Amino acid sequence: MDPHDGQPTPRTYAVTTFGCQMNEHDSERIAGLLEADGLVPAASEDTADVVVLNTCCIRENADNKLYGTLGHLKAAKARRPGMEIVVGGCLAQKDRDLIQQRAPHVDVVLGTHNVHRAVDLLHESRRSGPLTEIVEQTLDDAEAFPSALPVKREVDHSAWVTIQIGCDNNCAFCIVPAVRGQEVSRSFGDLLDEVRALAADGVTEVTLLGQNVNSYGRDITTRLRAAEPSVDDAVLAGEMWSGDDRRRPRPLFADLLRAVGALDGIRRVRYTSPHPKDLRPETIAAMAEVDAVCEHLHLPLQAGSDRVLAAMHRGYTAERYLEKLAAARATIDDLAVTTDLIVGFPGETEDDFEQTLEVVAAAEYDSAYTFIFSPREGTEAAGMSEAFVPHDVAVARFDRLRAVLERSGVRKHRERIGRVEEVVVEGPSKRDRTVLTGRTRQNKLVHFPSAEPLRMGTYAHVLVTDAAAHHLRGELREVLARPTHRTRIPVVAG
């Protein structure tokens, strides 16, 4: 009870996210559901009435992070028996029974396809005790994308939009198909409706999300190809495909880029993560021709050795990868390219690694996410233990790879000195509150001082004056557009 007005004190929640942007977006939806149920954000995880841990299982230490956090929360729950704990996400999908065996103080375990049920499951657990709910079968569009879920976005000017879930590839190192299922694409019309609504709420930048984002729509057009033409085809697959008498099964991603980029109010369109084998000429053309689509391509290489790529089941050679990259750079002006790389995949020899260094040097990346291979139970690569690369060898290779990447990254950044960049303000710098941080269309971080405080979501021109490996520095030249979203006043519990 609030002593000031006699009203019941709202229950509080905290959501902690491990993993990728898909998990971050799922967390936004869980937070939205909790707030729709009357909860408000807590000051900290320890004081929250409901704690949600949205997990990832891609990396080796993901389970260590989860169980370490659950151990800490066990003590907090002993002090506050009313605390409720929810574990969701990919690790929950994979280890559903193990989680409640190792942490019986968890109230709800829910899978990757049960996000929309988070509040219902909490209510049910209060009546019947701890429970686990996991959906494993292949979902259709309506089941995979429940409509009208509330979302609590942390950033007002930018939003994630999930266009597809699941993955039909079988990369030897990846657990995603096992925990996210087969590819299911969302209907074209629903996606455009969501982006229109976001734009009406002041969002100017959207990031299209999918496990294999550039294969979006292939499942829809394959299904429609076998059916009689219908008035619903334009809603499901867009007007470009439904108006084509050939009705060819094909991805719809390029069509989607064009349609989203044409919507009023949307200044920037980004996407992640594509697969190199599905980077098609029409996608490159859409990136070049649609003003709103940003000049940034994240194209995961993973390895530069054809032998390792074949063992990974990546579906391309190093030569084919570089050809696609060259086609993108030749077509899209001022394109920044980033990538993912795995060091020490089972069986990787010194010669294999040298080939990776050669491809990385030729690709001249702006930056990269680099990882030392970690076996994930349930993947093909986890069963290759006899071919595991010694850890000290992998670490040494990792350091050599980072040195090559750093050289190209610094060179790419220095080339931008003297240029005026369009940036969108993301807020004050973490190290110096008098300095603002913004992001260019190429997804590069820029730090610059400003005599006036600029709200997040402000677009401005900034002159680049200096460059470091992972950021740029600059001077504010002019404000281009101020945000139209409403300033949100945080609700403080108690």
Binding residues for [4Fe-4S] cluster: 20, 56, 90, 167, 171, 174
318/299 Cα distance (integer angstroms):
12
Phi/psi for 280 (5° steps) reads -100, 155
The structure tokens listed for 216 are 């979006």
Phi/psi for 445 (5° steps) reads -80, 130
The structure tokens listed for 46 are 């320890």
Rounded to 10°, the helix 233-242/253-261 angle is: 90
| CA-to-CA dists, residue 142 to 110, 113, 185, angstroms | 19, 12, 10
Phi/psi for 151 (5° steps) reads -130, 130
| Residue 376, strand partner residues | none
332/295 Cα distance (integer angstroms):
7
255/189 Cα distance (integer angstroms):
12
407/354 Cα distance (integer angstroms):
17
Annotated binding site: 20, 56, 90, 167, 171, 174
For 153, residues 6+ apart whose C-beta sits below 8 A from its C-beta are: 28, 159
Q: Cβ distance 22 to 158 under 8 Å?
A: no
